[in-house]
Structure 1
Amino acid sequence: MLDIIYKYQNLLANIDEYIEDSKFKKEYLIEQLGVSRATFYNKVKKKSFTIDEMVVLSTILFPEEAKAFEIKEALRQSREDSKAGKTRDHKDVMAEVRDKLRA
């Protein structure tokens, strides 16, 4: 658990560098965070982004890692669903997909 905290601490400590090195314009990040320009720069300077803001920034700045995390979570959830008996018949799923494609 401590390693997670240290990784987060390192991420936050270097967030200004990650923002500078990214291919995204700061205006885009500001828009995605839903904060004012002044607030954004203040948060970068003070390294005071909230956890939710760091999730948004990390998803944008590290899209490959975000996608990998999303896939891992989907697999974990599907395993849990399967263990709990929350499964659907292949035939039913395919019929639903066909219906959606026709609509």
Structure 2
Amino acid sequence: MLDVILNYKTLLENLHIYIEESKFKKEHIINELGVSRATFYNKLKKRSFSIPEMVKLSTLLFPEDAKAFEIKQALERSRKDSAAGRVLKHESVMSDARKRISR
């Protein structure tokens, strides 16, 4: 658990660098967070972003990691569904796919 905390600390300490190096302009990041410009810079200076804001920032700044996490979560849900017997037959899935494509 200590490694998670230390990694988070490092993330907060280097957040300004990640923002500078990102492909996004600061205005875009500020708009995505839904905060004022002054609030953004204040939070950046004080390292006081909320957890939902950090999730949003991480998704913007590290899109590959966010996509990998999303895929990992989807696979875990699939495994749980399969283990619980919540599965569809191949024929049913293919039939539904064909219907969607033909629309």
Normalising by the smaller structure, the TM-score range is over 0.9
Alpha-carbon shift at residue 102 of structure 1 (Å): 2.4
Number of equivalenced pairs: 103
The Cα RMSD (Å) is 1.0
Aligned counterpart, 2:91: 91
Moved more, 92-101 or 21-30: 92-101
Aligned mates of 2:98, 2:20 — CA distance in 1: 46
3-state SS of paired residue (1:5): helix
Aligned counterpart, 1:71: 71
Alpha-carbon shift at residue 61 of structure 1 (Å): 0.4
Aligned counterpart, 2:24: 24
Aligned mates of 1:50, 1:19 — CA distance in 2: 16
Q: Normalising by structure 2, what TM-score?
A: 0.94
Alpha-carbon shift at residue 30 of structure 1 (Å): 0.6
Aligned mates of 2:4, 2:90 — CA distance in 1: 39
Q: List gaps (5 residues or longer) in structure 1.
A: none
Correspondence 1:7-18 to 2 at 5 A: 7-18=7-18
Alpha-carbon shift at residue 38 of structure 1 (Å): 0.9
Aligned mates of 1:91, 1:12 — CA distance in 2: 49
Aligned counterpart, 1:53: 53
Q: Normalising by structure 1, what TM-score?
A: 0.94
Q: Structure 1: which 4+ aligned runs deviate by more than 6 Å? A: none
3-state SS of paired residue (1:14): helix
Q: List gaps (5 residues or longer) in structure 2.
A: none
Amino acid at match of 2:48: S
Of all paired residues, the percent bearing the same amino acid is 61
